[in-house]
Chains A and B, each alone.
Chain A
Amino acid sequence: SQTIHQWPATLVQPVGSPLSLECTVEGTSNPNLYWYRQAAGRGLQLLFYSVGIGQISSEVPQNLSASRPQDRQFILSSKKLLLSDSGFYLCAWGRRNTEAFFGQGTRLTVV
């Protein structure tokens, strides 16, 4: 069966520090991969999605970047965090015409 791993679960980082959140999928190949951010009590904002290795689509210009170095690995990064980067980050995988499966999320607090 397919599983998705996302870590860490919580993270507190100072302003200006770098960020790296990792997401890996098991049990499937060539998945679509997604990064979402959710502000407190709000909806999910699509940040990046990828349909293959090295193929990244950015939805919102911001202080973040994404990379897909391997088929089942999706990384969210920042060189210098801002206070506004705080939020709940969710990784997901899916295929066309099927639902998306989510990781457990990372709660990031920038202080």
Chain B
Amino acid sequence: AQKITQTQPGMFVQEKEAVTLDCTYDTSDPSYGLFWYKQPSSGEMIFLIYQGSYDQQNATEGRYSLNFQKARKSANLVISASQLGDSAMYFCAMREGSSGDKLTFGTGTRLAVRP
């Protein structure tokens, strides 16, 4: 079974608008962490934001925020005021506390920002 599901293979957004990238996860472990990464065409993986399962508030990092809905097991990434440089692949990932620090990724969403 898929641990991390990203149902949007591709997304478009107009420059300066906000966009939400979806991520749902599957775990029975009470302790886990959720991550979002950006991968531009160069291939490097850039860490964006982290949410712990016990965190009470949604994580925010600059223009990035994570809409964490624990009961729904979703961890959507919200990018505000999109910029052309935001065009990239975005990956959601999860680390489960019981899995020996294994970090599992979703299939990714390709975001294209239109000028």
Contacts and interface: CB of A to CB of B under 8 A. Distances in A.
Chains A and B bind each other = yes
Interface of A: 32, 34, 36, 42-46, 49, 51, 57, 59, 88, 90, 92, 94-102, 104-105, 107
Chain A: interface secondary structure? Answer: strand
Interface of B: 6, 33, 35, 37, 43-45, 47, 50, 52, 91, 93, 95, 97, 100-108
B44 A96 contact: no
A105 B100 CA distance: 24
Contacts of B33: 97
Nearest to A90: B45
Nearest to B50: A99
A99 B47 contact: yes
Contact of A36 (B44, B105, B106, B108): B105
A105 B45 CA distance: 9
Given A92-B103, A100-B103, A105 B43 contact: yes
Nearest to A88: B43
B101 A49 contact: yes
B45 A57 contact: no
Contact of A43 (B35, B50, B52, B106): B106
B108 to A, nearest CB: 5
A57 to B, nearest CB: 7
A57 B100 contact: yes
